[in-house]
Amino acid sequence: MSEFLMPSLGADMEAGTLVEQLIAAGERVTRGDVIGAVETQKGVIEIEVFETGVLDGWLVDIGEKVPVGTPLAVIRGTGDPDPPEVPEPSPPAPAPPEAPQPTDPPVEPPAPEEVPLTDPTPDPGMPEIPDTPGVEIPPPETRHPRITPAARRFIAEREIDLTKLAIPAGQTITRARLEAMAAGPPEQAATDIRRAIAAAMSRAKREIPHYYLSHTIDLTVADAFVKAANADRPPQSRLLAGAVYARAVARALEKFPEFNGHFTAERFQPSDAVHLGFAINLRGGGLVAPALFDVAAGDLDTLMQALRDLVMRVRAGRFRARELSDATITLSSLGERGVDQLHGIIYPPQVAIVGVGTPRRRPWVREGEITPSLIAELTLAADHRVSDGHRGALFLNQIDTYLQKPEAL
């Protein structure tokens, strides 16, 4: 028997709001299953269990905001004895076993009159999770809005980012309301993400003694490699240059482990695998750098699919918990419409960030000839507590070397 706690999804997170319970009491869970979702300043983050067993019950209601470390659910491991009464997984009412007296009338939060509480298209397969009677309901200004099942489906179908809709706390989100608001301004999300970035970047500037390096590289070969690979491919299996950069960085880190890991408790802990945070710009403001896991493993196509999946989910406002906490280095690629170079700020507790500026056609001397070439600025910001500029320079040169032989990546 173990408690599943509200995870810490980054150094700047103090509390989170449980917004989804995807597994009901009594259902089996396997390590790695997504069992629910938590809303943080960075958006809705899916949470995974770390053990296999049976979900004994939820300890926190949907809509409750609780501090990091608060038990959210109880998981009964496969080796644990059965409780006296095992709830059947089939009934659609996921009330926790400790929920009191069904005779008590459910406590409904106050809702404004103009908001219809009824679901216009009820679906018996997706019952709304009732508020648990007897559980303390936070004051309206801190309550997360309730979401009707139809609204949930609408959110999933349209990939709506709830954090981008300014919905007053304590109100009920219905499909009709969402349809009306779908084009609304993304004020709240922009404010929250700005606050999250401010906290992390202030800490970085306060605690990390950055040093910066820049190296001009020729991407002609890498660009030709991507074009050749894509020539006969349908769009859904095409490569992007970003995946090639990610792999080159990961391979180079094999020889330069001092740029890959976390600096915590006054010491550096290198990571065996490269979990590369990929900086993704968010429409409506802000950016996030969730992790692509074990970027040195598998082939380039696998990496590209992982990148694609990650970007799609992030744009829809969906992250997984590990993606926000486990990145061991960050890559920021400015793409084709950006500027020449960036001087990154390290995302704590990481110790390095690699930047790739916008590639441009420029004169370049190759084998004694001036040749029009695709040139970009490769940059590094790294933590001087862990490494020095000399090693940083060798690291950037190693990335360059790998990018000259992309077929070996």
Partner 1 sequence: MTPEDVDPVLSEHLHRIAPEIDLAEIDRSADLREECDIDSMDFLTLVTALSERFGIDMPEADYDEMRSYNALAAYIAGKVD
Q: Which residues bind partner 1 (CB under 8 A)?
A: 159, 182-183, 186, 227, 230-231, 234-236, 238, 240-242, 281, 283-284, 307-308, 311-312, 335-337
Let me know: does 63 contact 36? Beta carbons within 8 Å: no
Name which of 349, 91, 342 is nearest 214 in CA terms.
342
H-helix or E-strand containing 403? helix 389-403
Gap between the Cα atoms of 300 and 189, Å rounded: 33
Name which of 205, 235, 65 is nearest 137 in CA terms.
65
Between 2 and 281, CB nearer to partner 1: 281
Q: In whole angstroms, how close is the CB of 230 to partner 1 at the nearest point?
A: 5
Q: In whole angstroms, how close is the CB of 369 to partner 1 at the nearest point?
A: 26
Between 266 and 336, CB nearer to partner 1: 336
Q: In whole angstroms, how close is the CB of 240 to partner 1 at the nearest point?
A: 5
H-helix or E-strand containing 149? helix 149-158
Gap between the Cα atoms of 403 and 53, Å rounded: 45
Distance of CA 301 to the CA centre of its chain: 21
Which amino acid would we find at residue 311? V
Q: In whole angstroms, how close is the CB of 260 to partner 1 at the nearest point?
A: 24
Gap between the Cα atoms of 140 and 300, Å rounded: 49
3-state secondary structure at position 121: coil
Between 77 and 184, CB nearer to partner 1: 184
| Helices and strands, counts by H and E, the chain | 8, 22
How would DSSP label each residue in 238-268? ---HHHHHHHHHHHHHTT-GGGSEEEETTEE
Q: In whole angstroms, how close is the CB of 220 to partner 1 at the nearest point?
A: 17
Between 153 and 238, CB nearer to partner 1: 238
Between 5 and 181, CB nearer to partner 1: 181
Q: In whole angstroms, how close is the CB of 337 to partner 1 at the nearest point?
A: 6
Between 231 and 408, CB nearer to partner 1: 231
Between 170 and 406, CB nearer to partner 1: 406
Q: In whole angstroms, how close is the CB of 149 to partner 1 at the nearest point?
A: 23
Residue 193: how many other CB atoms lie within 10 Å: 22
C-alpha distances out from residue 49 to 54, 99, 230, Å: 11, 23, 38
Residue 32: how many other CB atoms lie within 10 Å: 12
Between 49 and 193, CB nearer to partner 1: 193
Q: In whole angstroms, how close is the CB of 311 to partner 1 at the nearest point?
A: 5
Q: In whole angstroms, how close is the CB of 341 to partner 1 at the nearest point?
A: 18
Between 159 and 254, CB nearer to partner 1: 159
Gap between the Cα atoms of 259 and 384, Å rounded: 10
Burial of 339 (0-12, 13-18, 19+ CB in 10 A): exposed
Between 73 and 307, CB nearer to partner 1: 307
Q: In whole angstroms, how close is the CB of 401 to partner 1 at the nearest point?
A: 24
Gap between the Cα atoms of 6 and 104, Å rounded: 29
